[in-house]
Amino acid sequence: MNWILLAEILYIILIILVCARVVYDTQSTTKTLAYLLAVIFLPFVGMIIYFSVGINYRKRKMYSKKVFNNLEMELAMRKRILEMSQTIFTTRSESVNTFKKLANLILSQTSSPITQGNDVTLLLNGENKFPKVLEALKNAKNHIHIEYYIYEADAIGCQIIDLLIEKAKEGVTVRFMYDDFGSREIRKKQVPRLKAAGVAVFPFYKIKLIALANRLNYRNHRKIIVIDGILGFVGGINVSDKYINNSEEKNALFWRDTHLRIQGPSVSTLQYIFMGDWNYCAGEQLAPETRYFPEVKEAYQSNSDKIVQIAASGPDSDTPLIQQTLVQAISLAKKELLITTPYFIPGEGILENLVIAASSGTKVKLLVPGISDSLLVNYAVRSYYSRLLDAGVEIYRYQKGFVHAKTMVADQQLAMVGTANMDIRSFDLNFEVNALVYDEAIAQELSQAFYEDLKDATIIDVENWRARSKFTQLLEKLAGLFSPLM
């Protein structure tokens, strides 16, 4: 009996210590309460959950993404970025002036410049993205940098790998970075093939058994291609045949996704992000040479004048910048917000801002999948709907297939396309990147795509929603309690 009593005392002490750690280390009140509930009411399992996903890595800095070792060079670059951005702020672009606070937020947090003179092409779905990617890779002259969360060894994946091997043999420098969890399918055969051909290949945050939980949890969700420092691709489409909607299979699921092709000065920011990730993964110090950051006026001639800014964040950044950019964009929009996201677990900050926007007269339309690929996530997502519907937000559920796009259009002036879902995992746990285009033409094109998607979606009827069973509402509320952990 004494041993049982001693074990109970030790367990209580352990719970107290872990709870103290949770309170001390977790900044969000909502997440703090969720972790406390898990630790107290799920013996040992709750502790495992917290130590797997709850450690505040913003305090501990998972790694340094420094590209510039020379302080003088870094300060000079920052000065140049500020001067360039201030010049653009003086333009008469209504889109830039309307969202100037948003641009300044990104600039102040990461020194990511707002750039003009970009050529931007909106790519809907894999069948439109991959031909452009293959064409760009074939025309590479100096270097190719690729970074992906999911890269599968299927038809399109092998086609791109074959092309990378061909370019490497031509003398083009090729660097290939893949997430060790999301792209585990290519480890055994394709990675050795690339290495044998002279391609530099490294996994991001390699999974090791001793730290399996954390390494599985903090993933590189970015999808970036940079070619010769002047042409880039970024967005939600991974490398996989399932994103190409021309399959002969009768039961093939339709994948709706969005990507951007960008040519111009904003690609230098994508390059900087890639190099920071590469230096960590490869254990190298890839220096910011001119070949990686060419003078755009000399390397690329275009009449395009799109204004673009790149926002990136992850467990390595001081603040959840992507979450902050969404909050700021929502608060600055006056007329209309069109949001597409495959996973909607926004947290209180974004939820409250959406409610305020809709209640203030801004038309807010949210497009989500008809059903999530996880039953628990599906119930957790639904737990947020009532507050939004009561405020006047229109929620549409996509029926044609699975909508995987992560986009926002604000007031037909700002278009946001990237890798980040509107969920807590993307804000705090994953390494993400979004592109912001301050341009009416691109915003209207993305808006048109959104309204086309609504033709294949059903709107949630408010009265029917309120009439759902009490048991269903209870399940949603219970799932919602654990949504900060998802």
From the candidates 31, 129, 167, 221, which is the catalytic residue? 221
CA angle 431, 435, 440 (to 5 degrees): 160
The single residue listed with the structure tokens 């004048």 is 305
Does residue 257 carry a catalytic annotation? no
Strand partners, 458: 397
Q: Say how far apart CA 415 and CA 448 lie, in whole Å.
A: 12
Backbone angles phi, psi at 360, to 5 degrees: -90, 0
From the candidates 180, 257, 411, 439, which is the catalytic residue? 411
Does residue 411 carry a catalytic annotation? yes
Does residue 406 carry a catalytic annotation? yes
Does residue 221 carry a catalytic annotation? yes
Backbone angles phi, psi at 132, to 5 degrees: -65, -40
Q: Which two tokens stand for residue 74?
A: 């870094």
* 388 burial via Cβ count (<10 Å: 0-12, 13-18, 19+): buried
From the candidates 145, 259, 365, 406, which is the catalytic residue? 406
From the candidates 129, 145, 306, 404, which is the catalytic residue? 404
Q: Which two tokens stand for residue 381?
A: 């997502």
Burial 8-17 (b: 16+ CB within 10 A, else e): eeeeeeebee
Task: List the one residue out of 30, 14, 252, 215 whose CA is nearest residue 126.
Answer: 252
Q: Say how far apart CA 104 and CA 114 lie, in whole Å.
A: 9
Sign of CA dihedral 438, 294, 78, 317: positive
From the candidates 179, 180, 228, 453, which is the catalytic residue? 228
Does residue 428 carry a catalytic annotation? no
Q: Which two tokens stand for residue 200?
A: 């530099």
Contact 451, 398 (CB under 8 A): no
Contact 460, 388 (CB under 8 A): no
Q: Say how far apart CA 456 and CA 255 lie, in whole Å.
A: 12
Q: Which two tokens stand for residue 340?
A: 């597409």
CA 36 to chain CA centroid, nearest Å: 28
Task: List the one residue out of 117, 137, 142 whose CA is nearest residue 265.
Answer: 117
Contact 385, 449 (CB under 8 A): no
Alpha helices (H) in 338-485, listed in sequence order: 347-359, 375-382, 385-391, 424, 440-454, 462-466, 470-481
Give the three-class secondary structure for 217. helix
Q: Which two tokens stand for residue 185?
A: 């399918």
Does residue 66 carry a catalytic annotation? no
Give the three-class secondary structure for 11. helix
DSSP E strands, 180-324: 200-204, 224-227, 231-235, 255-256, 258-263, 306-313
From the candidates 31, 223, 242, 365, which is the catalytic residue? 223
Q: Say how far apart CA 448 and CA 437 lie, in whole Å.
A: 16
Q: Say how far apart CA 86 and CA 16 lie, in whole Å.
A: 51
What residues are annotated to the active site?
A: 221, 223, 228, 404, 406, 411
